[in-house]
Structure 1
Amino acid sequence: MPLTLASLAQHSALRLAVLAGNPERLGAEVRWVHTSELDDPGPYLEGGELLLTTGLKLDGGDPVALRGYVRRLAAAGVVGLGFGVGLGHDRVPPALVDAAAHEGLPLLEVPRATPFIAISKAVSAAIAADQYKAVTAGFEAQRELTRAALAPDGTTALLTRLAAHLDGWAALYDASGAVLAAAPEWAGRRAARLAGEIDRLRDTPAPTSAALAGPAGTEDRVEVQSLGTGRRPRGFLAVGTEERLDTSARYVVHAAVALLTLSLEQSRTLQEAQARLAAALLRMLLAGEPGHARSVAGRLYGTLFDHPLRLMIAEPAQAGADAEAVTVLGERAEAAAVRSGEPMLTVRDGPRLLLLAAEDALALATAADLAEASDGLAAGLSASVDPAGVPEAHRQAERALAVALRRGRPLVEHGEVGAGSVLPLLADEAVRAFSEGLLRPLREHDATSRGDLIASLAAWLSHHGQWDAAAADLGVHRHTLRYRMRRVEEILGRSLDDPDVRMELWLALKAGG
């Protein structure tokens, strides 16, 4: 318990008398003792001190001067004034008592028999005892937290003990800013409302800490500590309390940070091994070996291969762009899988991310929602397939991803590719170049000779080679149209009887606008 003026005044060996000061001000913490006979000792103080003086330079009969002196002390953050009598003054000047009472500054009378050094020793001993108590309590709390961390549900147990020690709440976030666990139970929603604040700390190199305003409608003081030893935080610990954390509470928080960081770093090796296993399983599935994949996966992926599956492929929307958005997508999808208890294969392939999960998995829906809302990535999602159909799902996801990249969309599902039109796919520079090269001889003919071969070809193709309908549409005789089509064949050196030629010409006309 911090040393206060009230407890110091009650120290029987010091025999201090309180001349001014209400109970609230006497409850102020004494952080140190300083002796000064200066008229303005403020520049030499930090705040929180009990100032001792004999008043050698004070004019006890000048109320104005004494009031100014007291005001300067209060402005410097002095918590109380101890006035020693018997040297410069036989008693504390009444004007000083009045000035202290007026400013609300506690004033203690120090008898001649009590040396200032005795007060300094008493304060120093009390501060040392308080610090020792805080350290001792911190070590005991660390032992409790360590025992909690070793429990079957170690993270939740640790957060529960931490919240109890702080008389507040505690929450653990993953690297993406999603809440993994919170204690007590009611703190989950409160912690989730800070996800945006946590997200802003993700790009700050670890270790980092920040003090945040509590969620709206609360009076919480929230402090956040990053977790992990690398440049990129692997998670965050947030604690919320009504009062500012004291020394003992900070020992407890630092112990929790150390234990959680150790847990995360120890799990990194396991996560890397699981990532390698996931990549191997996906390679087996893509090679058409679902039986081997099921055998290798064992119980690690539960019933993943017992249900229809969907595959998502995501990559940066711009070639060579930072893959941060893809990383965040993977982290949040994995966090959703952990929370829902759903198995999911997550495979990182360079800047790409591949997710394979049950068709109705919450984690896959979360990933799709995140991809849809993202500005920095493009993703393709396959239709549902059984495990033996994963190679086809991969082709579907690749095609859907290609459409997403071409159209500048964050997410395209395979069903949209089949249901949509092929014409938007022609807006590719290579297709435009092919169109221009194929139709250039016809355009050059139209620019220098009579007859509109481009328009005639378009009308003839649009009417499926029906001469009368196409000629009527152009407003020419059908013999004229026949002549023009022969000229098209002569100029291009290709037969319009070939359906492939007709298809290429039609697509070239559409791509050329």
Structure 2
Amino acid sequence: MPLTLASLVHHSALKLTVRSGEGRLDIPVRWAHVSELADPVPYMEGGELLLTTAMTLDAENPEAMSRYVRRLQRAGVVGLGFAIGVNYDEIPEALVTAAQEADLPLLEVPRPTPFLAISKAVSAAMAADQYRAVTAGFEAQRELTKAALAEGPAALLARLASHVDGWAALYDASGAVVAAAPEWATRRAARLTADVERLRERPAPASAVVGSPDDRVELQSLGTGRRVRGALAVGTGAPLGTAERYAVHSAVALLTLTTERSRSLQAAEQRLGAAVLRLLLAGQPDHARAVSGDLYGGLLDAPFRLLIAGPLAEHGDVAGLTEAVESAASRAGEAVLAVPENGRLVILAADGGAAVGACTAYEPEVGNEIVIGLSAPTGPSAAAAAYKQAEQALSVARRRGRSLVEHDEMAAGSVLPLLADDAVRAFADGMLRALREHDATGRGDLVASLRAWLSRHGQWDAAAADLGVHRHTLRYRMRRVEEILGRSLDDPDVRMELWLALKATSTAEEES
């Protein structure tokens, strides 16, 4: 317990007498300071017991004493000790009245008690209190360490909340609440997400104090590097004392060690995940299952999705998505395989799980946009096909300027939007160029005739009717098409390529 005026009054060797402010003796005393100045305020910091003999004070002047006492109060002086038997045989009534009116504790110091004795008593009490705080802090550190090693972060938070007589919460790198103690604090901690996100924007280590005086919350970043790996929130009804501060610092150190250890484990898991992915893509699902063991085995027992994510810009990165996916999977208690691949990120996650949901809901930072391709639900034996699906979806996402495209969406839609690709249009223009140059000379309408004939599946009479020409005319035009292109219209591959070329050019004309 901190030293108070009451402690000094009850000190048998000091023999102090209370002359005013009896109801305010429970105020903590930070120091005892002797001053005979008429205005000692410039030298006060607040929390002091001021000791004086009134050598330079006009102690019998009511107005002067009223001003003197008010100045002391505004400076944060917690009490005034007046020595009798030196300059005054008793405390002047003007000072007693001023102290009573201001409710400032006024202590009468008898002649045999030197000010040095009071200073020593204050110093000894503060040293004892500091020792108790340090001892309590070390004891808290032992308890927190034991809890962290034996039961994990949740138990550590419970011990910390008990030590600070408040609550504590742990946030992951994405700013989501991982654990809180007591249980009711989870909802309170969730309301601080925006404050945690602002803390993450600052280089580690960083701290902040939020809330009101009676609902005070300290936020501490976790991580040894400049990148914040998590955050600790500690909520109390008052500023932390020395012992509580030791406990918080110990918790920050232990949680940081846990975070850094987790990063090492994640690196090892990532290497194992890369091996599992290579086996799956090589068509060896049984070997992949054997290697994955308990870590990824459950992931391969149910339908999963394969996602490929890449930065939209040349210098972007997918680190933010990695954190979001792994955090979502951790909170949901599900396995996820995330493997970096040449600046991209390959993710194997449970179909309909939290990790896939985190990908679809991911909002990257401005200037670091990414695109994602998502395969159809699949299993271990078809992982290679799912990889190709995700790559195709990623390519379509880039061309269409969309953040995410699912392969199912491509399969269920029309192929015609894919013809808008510049490479496809270049192919179409090259294939039809000779026919268009022929038509430009006014010697026939071969392109329109070819389109009509293909749309009627090679039915001469129907196509000729659409064009308003005789079927023999149409037959002549199709022979000219074959001659100009040097390809036979009896070949179904040729007819398919010509039809796609016509559709691609018509799509381009419609867009222009």
TM-score greater than 0.5 by the shorter chain: yes
1:335 maps to a residue whose letter is: S
* 1:65 alignment counterpart: 64
Most deviating of 161-170 and 374-383: 374-383
- Which residue, 332, 341, 359 being the options, matches 1:368? 359
1:185, CA displacement in angstroms?
2.0
1:458, CA displacement in angstroms?
6.6
After superposition, give the CA deviation of every residue in 1:191-226 in whole Å (9 maximum; x if it has no partner): 222223212222322212221227xxx953111222
| Partner Cα separation in structure 2 for residue 99 and residue 467 of structure 1 | 119
| Partner Cα separation in structure 2 for residue 473 and residue 397 of structure 1 | 43
1:284, CA displacement in angstroms?
0.6
Pair 1:507 & 2:507 matched: no
Tell me, yes or no, if the aligned pair for 2:279 and 2:288 is still in contact at 8 Å: yes
Tell me, yes or no, if the aligned pair for 1:441 and 1:491 is still in contact at 8 Å: no
Alignment of 1:113-512 (within 5 A): 113-151=112-150, 153-213=151-211, 219-321=214-316, 323=317, 326-360=318-352, 362-371=353-362, 376-432=369-425, 489=481, 493=485, 497=489, 498-499=494-495, 500-512=497-509
SS state of the match for residue 171, structure 1?
strand
* 2:36 alignment counterpart: 37
SS state of the match for residue 340, structure 2?
strand
1:300, CA displacement in angstroms?
2.8
| Partner Cα separation in structure 2 for residue 374 and residue 143 of structure 1 | 41
SS state of the match for residue 291, structure 2?
helix
* 1:6 alignment counterpart: 6
| Partner Cα separation in structure 2 for residue 42 and residue 155 of structure 1 | 48
For residues 226 and 447 of structure 1, do their structure 2 counterparts lie closer, same or farther at Cα, with a shift above 3 Å needed?
A: same
| Partner Cα separation in structure 2 for residue 83 and residue 22 of structure 1 | 16
* 1:19 alignment counterpart: 19
After superposition, give the CA deviation of every residue in 1:99-146 in whole Å (9 maximum; x if it has no partner): 223333322222222211111111111111100000001111111112
Most deviating of 413-422 and 347-356: 347-356
1:253, CA displacement in angstroms?
0.9
| Partner Cα separation in structure 1 for residue 339 and residue 289 of structure 2 | 17
2:90 maps to a residue whose letter is: R
For residues 508 and 372 of structure 1, do their structure 2 counterparts lie closer, same or farther at Cα, with a shift above 3 Å needed?
A: farther
2:303 maps to a residue whose letter is: P
* 1:104 alignment counterpart: 103
For residues 372 and 35 of structure 1, do their structure 2 counterparts lie closer, same or farther at Cα, with a shift above 3 Å needed?
A: closer
1:275, CA displacement in angstroms?
0.9
For residues 469 and 510 of structure 1, do their structure 2 counterparts lie closer, same or farther at Cα, with a shift above 3 Å needed?
A: farther
Length-normalised TM-score, structure 1: 0.87
For residues 231 and 374 of structure 1, do their structure 2 counterparts lie closer, same or farther at Cα, with a shift above 3 Å needed?
A: closer
| Partner Cα separation in structure 2 for residue 448 and residue 412 of structure 1 | 45
Tell me, yes or no, if the aligned pair for 2:374 and 2:405 is still in contact at 8 Å: yes
1:448, CA displacement in angstroms?
8.9
Tell me, yes or no, if the aligned pair for 2:431 and 2:498 is still in contact at 8 Å: no
Tell me, yes or no, if the aligned pair for 1:290 and 1:388 is still in contact at 8 Å: yes
Most deviating of 140-149 and 296-305: 296-305
1:118 maps to a residue whose letter is: A
For residues 13 and 415 of structure 1, do their structure 2 counterparts lie closer, same or farther at Cα, with a shift above 3 Å needed?
A: same
| Partner Cα separation in structure 1 for residue 189 and residue 99 of structure 2 | 45
1:289, CA displacement in angstroms?
0.7
2:415 maps to a residue whose letter is: V
| Partner Cα separation in structure 2 for residue 470 and residue 119 of structure 1 | 115
1:264 maps to a residue whose letter is: T
| Partner Cα separation in structure 1 for residue 449 and residue 38 of structure 2 | 105
1:507, CA displacement in angstroms?
0.9
| Partner Cα separation in structure 2 for residue 95 and residue 482 of structure 1 | 125
| Partner Cα separation in structure 2 for residue 48 and residue 227 of structure 1 | 34
Tell me, yes or no, if the aligned pair for 1:372 and 1:410 is still in contact at 8 Å: no
| Partner Cα separation in structure 2 for residue 485 and residue 339 of structure 1 | 68
| Partner Cα separation in structure 1 for residue 36 and residue 426 of structure 2 | 91
| Partner Cα separation in structure 2 for residue 333 and residue 201 of structure 1 | 21
SS state of the match for residue 18, structure 1?
strand
Tell me, yes or no, if the aligned pair for 2:45 and 2:75 is still in contact at 8 Å: yes
For residues 77 and 372 of structure 1, do their structure 2 counterparts lie closer, same or farther at Cα, with a shift above 3 Å needed?
A: closer
SS state of the match for residue 307, structure 1?
coil
For residues 383 and 15 of structure 1, do their structure 2 counterparts lie closer, same or farther at Cα, with a shift above 3 Å needed?
A: same
1:72, CA displacement in angstroms?
1.9
Query: How many pairs are equivalent?
Result: 503
Runs of 5+ in structure 2 lacking a partner? none
1:61 maps to a residue whose letter is: E
1:165, CA displacement in angstroms?
1.1
| Partner Cα separation in structure 2 for residue 333 and residue 443 of structure 1 | 52
1:384, CA displacement in angstroms?
1.4
| Partner Cα separation in structure 2 for residue 478 and residue 374 of structure 1 | 64
| Partner Cα separation in structure 2 for residue 306 and residue 48 of structure 1 | 67
Tell me, yes or no, if the aligned pair for 1:100 and 1:106 is still in contact at 8 Å: yes
Tell me, yes or no, if the aligned pair for 2:14 and 2:117 is still in contact at 8 Å: yes
Tell me, yes or no, if the aligned pair for 2:173 and 2:230 is still in contact at 8 Å: yes
Identity of aligned residues (%): 60
| Partner Cα separation in structure 1 for residue 476 and residue 235 of structure 2 | 82
For residues 89 and 464 of structure 1, do their structure 2 counterparts lie closer, same or farther at Cα, with a shift above 3 Å needed?
A: farther
For residues 93 and 459 of structure 1, do their structure 2 counterparts lie closer, same or farther at Cα, with a shift above 3 Å needed?
A: farther
Tell me, yes or no, if the aligned pair for 1:171 and 1:239 is still in contact at 8 Å: yes
1:363, CA displacement in angstroms?
2.8
Length-normalised TM-score, structure 2: 0.87
1:295, CA displacement in angstroms?
1.4
For residues 450 and 161 of structure 1, do their structure 2 counterparts lie closer, same or farther at Cα, with a shift above 3 Å needed?
A: same
